[in-house]
């Protein structure tokens, strides 16, 4: 069997959906394109899910989501755990907040009723467990009451989330969002021209936010300008293992992937095995591990995506003719 290697996706999210008609009705799903998925749930385009197809509960709204997953499979694992916190093996039995009290006809535990408070509590829990705390995830809230429930739980929880976990708010009409702006161009066509640029509509659906970074990497590695590793100071040659590049504008610092990892993990918690963020030894700027890995996997696995992003045409061999 051939294993198909792909670059880290530009965006993959696990989202929380709420009925605008009945706020007690919630749904959890995953998608690389939240605006399109919301249209599917609301019956505006084909797709959706049977559980959200009842017209009496439409329209639905996305009130929160988690982004930063390294793959689709990673997002699906998180989605299943958040949907089934009473069964998930990622949650230690002693830490489980949701416990099944009834069984189905087949004898399996029945999922307890879901509420906004329980979803927020289990989201907080999953972001702390070892399986997911190692990932460079980001939490987004798009409704004030949902964020208020999150803050209430965070204040009451005995355990805290890692300090580097980003929590982003973007409310309609608030200073956090860009209410009134619209998305145009290629992204506008994907979301629908005139789509409001706040909440899920402001999320980047492609690699455009790191376009300049990707272009810098292409220029450095195509012309073999790696130089010495910024961490261990050893000279690096083309193809000398995996090499990653500083994310900061104007810095061309390159290092061995293993060296970057050790450098970022200095001072981290003892059980940390995956870096989240750190400083570049060359320019001193802050860097996010997730963006470094996106560029690295695009460069090594995503030639088609790079060509599309940088609007490069593939080189084709030209046929020589006998006519001079």
Among the residue ranges 74-88, 130-144, 162-176, the one predicted with the least confidence is 162-176
154 annotated to a ligand binding site: no
Q: With CA atoms as reference, report the closest residue to 29 among 20, 21, 18.
A: 18
Look at residue 134 and tell me if it is in a domain: yes
Given a cut of 90, is residue 18 above it in pLDDT? yes
54 and 122 inside one domain: yes
Is residue 54 over pLDDT 70?
Answer: yes
* pLDDT, average across residues 169-186: 52
Domain termination site, one of 174, 195, 222: 174
* Structural domain count of the chain: 2
In the predicted model, is pLDDT for residue 45 greater than 80? yes
The three-state secondary structure class of 16 is strand
CATH number at residue 227: 3.30.40.10
Whether 186 maps to a domain, the answer reads no
What percentage of residues in the chain have a pLDDT greater than 70?
86
Please tell me whether residues 288 and 214 are part of one structural domain.
Answer: yes
* 319 — pLDDT class (breaks 50, 70, 90): very low
Report d(CA 192, CA 182) in Å as an integer. Answer: 10
106 pLDDT more than 90: no
Six-digit token string for 58: 């439409």
Shared-domain flag, residues 250 and 170 = no
Contact 306, 214 (CB under 8 A): yes
213 and 153 fall within a common domain: no
Average pLDDT of the residues of the chain: 87
Q: Within a domain: residue 315?
A: no
Task: Tell me: is residue 173 an annotated ligand-binding position.
Answer: yes
Quick one: which of 251, 260, 193, 197 has its CA closest to 231? 260
Strand pairing of 166-169 and 138-141? parallel
User: 24 with 121, same domain?
Assistant: yes
Instruction: Give me the pLDDT at residue 140, please.
Output: 97
Average pLDDT of the residues in 249-255: 96
Q: Are 56 and 165 within one domain? A: yes
5 labelled binding-site residue: no
- For residues 42 and 122, membership in a common domain is answered with yes
Flag whether 171 is marked binding.
yes
Statement to judge: residues 160 and 212 lie in one domain: no
Confidence band of 314 (pLDDT split at 50, 70, 90): low
CA distance 65 to 18: 12
Residues 181-205: pLDDT tens digits? 333 334 444 444 555 678 999 999 9
- The label of the residue with tokens 């640029």 reads 197
**What per-residue confidence (pLDDT) applies to 100?**
86
269 with 131, same domain? no
pLDDT at 170: 95
Give me the mean pLDDT over the 258-274 stretch. Answer: 82
Q: Residues 30, 15: contact at Cβ < 8 Å?
A: yes
Q: In this prediction, what percent of the chain has a pLDDT beyond 90?
A: 70
Nearest-angstrom CA–CA distance, 224 and 142: 44
Residues 6+ apart with CB under 8 A from 201: 35, 183, 191, 195
End-to-end CA distance of the chain: 49
The answer to the question of residue 107 being in a domain is: no
Residue 127 in tokens? 């972001």
For residue 170, count CB atoms less than 10 angstroms from its CB and return exposed for 0-12, middle for 13-18, buried for 19 or more.
buried
What is the rounded CA–CA span in Å between residue 102 and residue 32?
Answer: 34
End of a domain among 174, 197, 227? 174
Which of 151, 174, 197 finishes a domain?
174
Based on the fold, state whether residues 20 and 77 are members of the same structural domain.
yes
- Note the pLDDT of residue 269: 67
Does the annotation list 197 as a binding residue? no
Kindly state whether residue 2 falls inside one of the protein's structural domains: no
Q: Measuring CA to CA, which residue among 38, 78, 73, 28 is closest to residue 59?
A: 38
Note whether 166 and 252 are same-domain residues.
no
Given this model, what pLDDT does residue 205 score?
A: 94
Does residue 6 sit within a domain? no
pTM of structure: 0.84
In a domain, residue 76? The reply is: yes
The parent domain of residue 298 ranges over: 208-310
Residue 189 within a domain:
no
Mean pLDDT value of segment 138-165: 94
User: Which residues is 61 bridged to in the sheet?
Assistant: 18
Q: For residues 171 and 320, which has the higher predicted lDDT (pLDDT)?
A: 171
């Amino acid at each position: 069997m051939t294993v198909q290697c792909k670059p880290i996706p530009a965006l993959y999210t696990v989202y929380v959906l709420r009925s605008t008609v009945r706020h007690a009705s919630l749904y959890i799903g995953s998608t690389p394109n939240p605006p399109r998925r919301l249209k599917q749930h609301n019956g505006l385009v084909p797709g959706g899910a049977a559980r959200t197809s009842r017209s009496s509960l439409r329209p639905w709204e996305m009130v929160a989501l988690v982004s930063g997953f390294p793959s689709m499979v990673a997002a699906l694992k998180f989605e299943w755990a958040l949907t089934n916190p009473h069964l998930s093996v990622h949650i230690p039995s002693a830490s489980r907040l949701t416990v099944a009290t009834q069984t189905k006809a087949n004898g399996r535990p029945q999922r307890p009723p879901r509420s906004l408070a329980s979803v927020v509590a289990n989201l907080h829990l999953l972001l702390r467990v070892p399986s997911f705390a190692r990932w460079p995830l980001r939490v987004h809230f798009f409704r004030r009451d949902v964020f208020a429930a999150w803050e209430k739980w965070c204040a009451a929880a005995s355990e805290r989330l890692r300090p580097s976990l980003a929590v982003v708010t973007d409310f309609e009409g608030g200073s956090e969002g860009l209410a009134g702006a619209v998305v145009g161009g290629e992204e506008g066509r994907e979301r629908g021209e005139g789509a409001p640029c706040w909440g899920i509509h402001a999320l980047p659906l492609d690699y455009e936010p790191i376009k300049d970074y990707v272009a810098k990497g292409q220029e450095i590695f195509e012309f073999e300008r790696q130089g010495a590793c910024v961490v261990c100071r050893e000279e690096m040659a083309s193809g000398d293992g995996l090499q990653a590049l500083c994310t900061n504008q104007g810095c061309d610092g390159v290092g061995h992937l293993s060296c970057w990892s050790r450098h970022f993990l200095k001072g981290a918690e003892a059980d940390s095995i995956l870096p989240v963020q750190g400083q570049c030894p060359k320019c001193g700027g802050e860097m996010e591990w997730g963006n470094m890995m996106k560029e690295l996997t695009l460069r090594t696995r995503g030639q088609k995506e790079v060509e599309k992003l940088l609007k490069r045409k593939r080189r084709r061999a030209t046929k020589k003719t006998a006519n001079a």
